[in-house]
Chains A and B, each alone.
Chain A
């Protein structure tokens, strides 16, 4: 924001310089065409008036810019006081300077104008008016432009965030219809239908169940723990049938928290990762243990496997990064996702997300 504000200020300084110049020229024309100051021994030639006006107006403008530096001060009356003092000083100094450069004065007394208080005060008043008008409109325009730029930036941020959410949603959608999973499951189902009709049917029913919940959910962002776990169980059942005794699993949920809402498809990638990188590469298979607990403010979800853990996993990857990114976006820093070593072996993924106790809602 800082550089944008500076850029706006720079543009306005130039703009209002030209405004001041315009006023100066008007003033010159006025002085030249009227006999405003002629009564005090001032010769109303264009050059003399031009010099005089330039000195007056530019000095005032310079002081306006100084005064605007204090426009950020919080205290309103202090701000007003500072502004008044500075503009007044500018007007007096400008008038004195302008008068001092009126070379035509025979006596060459630089402060000649002081002995004509009437003229002096009129000029100072003109300077104050100019300073006040320029200062206030400058300040107002600056505020408006900065607010606009701010709004634009917010809008950009919002759009970027929206884009991010859409991207992750798309990735979730793509991950739940992962072709490898689908084709392998269908192949296994076909194989089972040839040999064990009952288990084949169970497999297909589980697949249907998993697809129904996970696909319906992509349109909503939250789901109760019950529903979410129902889907995870269907998913694990499918793998239990496919992998036989190479897969064991436990699901342990604290009592009374089934109704709490959690983001959809948050646990599934962790389970998928545990199977893909933890159990499938192991000849003997292994176990997946899912645990959900709450404390006062957080839901804590753990997915642990007994696979090779970090050591072999050079490309432990995109699925887990997606989860991390989603938690960062959804909870803007209030959620946590870490991967720890599981004891005695394997990987333990831990999610901690805040939830609102009143409506059981966790997040948006």
Chain B
């Protein structure tokens, strides 16, 4: 019987050392054929050495352990390593994907080793449906992260770019394809449209009041009704009045 081989990928050398030490204690027969310290290196190593197992840290420079796993399914079995990622861990649990939590305990590692040995000796075929599952988990994670609202917008500043906190912006006004952000003393152009802003900004703070206007409600001073039945908004520190068109008037009722 050929010996089982594995590679270890983690961006931190001490963590790789830790995993190797634990593996040596729990699974002395395992041959570690290589180490990698980032996503691309791990991928190259796996393609070159074709190990039976890849221990992959999730968060790595270049691209993540999950990206690597997606591309090498069918070549080798994958065990993910993570320090703390509740979302991923939950997903791994429900999909019966192998993972280890840092720091790695011998107890847990020996369970994982047992499962791997069984799987390798019985079928000798790594699961092929893994890429789909991983792609789905990654999409879920992305969506989970995407729920963070836009906090900073880029504005041109002197020769470069500056980031401005959306909390400092009184309102946005459509300007051709882009929009203008009105701050206390300036109104720079930003390269986002009103419709994309309305999707990305926190709806509890930013209200669209017109086809071309989004207002930061924390700066509203007074709301009144004009003779034509539209709403007029007066903002703090600013003299101009913003118009609330009829479809958005219900917001202020």
A residues near B (Cβ < 8 Å) are 2, 179-180, 183-184, 186-192, 194-195, 200, 203, 241-244, 246, 280-283, 285, 310, 315-318, 320-321, 324-325, 328, 337-341, 343
Total A-B contacts with CB atoms under 8 angstroms apart: 110
With a cutoff of 8 Å between Cβ atoms, the chain A residues found around residue B21 in the complex are 191, 194-195
With a cutoff of 8 Å between Cβ atoms, the chain B residues found around residue A203 in the complex are 14
A340 with B40, Cβ < 8 A, contacts A191-B14, A191-B21, A242-B14 known: no
Contact B167 A328 (CB under 8 A): yes
Question: Majority SS of interface residues in chain B?
Answer: mixed
Question: Please, how many angstroms separate the alpha-carbon atoms of A337 and B160 in the complex?
Answer: 17
With a cutoff of 8 Å between Cβ atoms, the chain A residues found around residue B17 in the complex are 191-192, 194-195
B132-181, CB < 8 A from A: 145, 148, 151-152, 154, 157, 160-165, 167
With an 8 A cutoff between CB atoms, is B125 at the interface? no
**Most central of A195, A281, A283, A324 by chain B CB within 10 Å:** A283
With a cutoff of 8 Å between Cβ atoms, the chain A residues found around residue B61 in the complex are 280-283, 285
Contact A318 B148 (CB under 8 A): yes
* Closest-CB distance, A248 to chain B (whole angstroms): 16
* Closest-CB distance, A48 to chain B (whole angstroms): 47
Question: Please, how many angstroms separate the alpha-carbon atoms of A325 and B148 in the complex?
Answer: 16
With a cutoff of 8 Å between Cβ atoms, the chain B residues found around residue A243 in the complex are 11-12
Contact B145 A315 (CB under 8 A): yes
Contact A283 B40 (CB under 8 A): yes
Rank and list the top 7 A-B pairs by shortest CB-CB distance, nearest first.
Answer: A191-B18, A191-B14, A339-B163, A183-B83, A188-B14, A187-B102, A341-B160
Q: How many residues of B contact A (CB 8 A)?
A: 36
Question: Please, how many angstroms separate the alpha-carbon atoms of A311 and B217 in the complex?
Answer: 29
* Closest-CB distance, A241 to chain B (whole angstroms): 7
A191 with B15, Cβ < 8 A, contacts A280-B59, A282-B61 known: yes
Q: 21 pairs across A/B with beta carbons < 8 Å?
A: A180-B84, A183-B101, A187-B103, A191-B12, A194-B17, A195-B17, A241-B14, A242-B12, A243-B12, A244-B12, A283-B38, A316-B163, A317-B148, A317-B152, A321-B151, A321-B152, A321-B165, A324-B167, A337-B165, A339-B152, A340-B163
Contact A310 B154 (CB under 8 A): yes
Contact of A194 among B18, B40, B84, B161 (CB under 8 A): B18
Question: Please, how many angstroms separate the alpha-carbon atoms of A354 and B38 in the complex?
Answer: 43
Contact B151 A195 (CB under 8 A): no
With a cutoff of 8 Å between Cβ atoms, the chain B residues found around residue A246 in the complex are 11
With a cutoff of 8 Å between Cβ atoms, the chain A residues found around residue B104 in the complex are 187
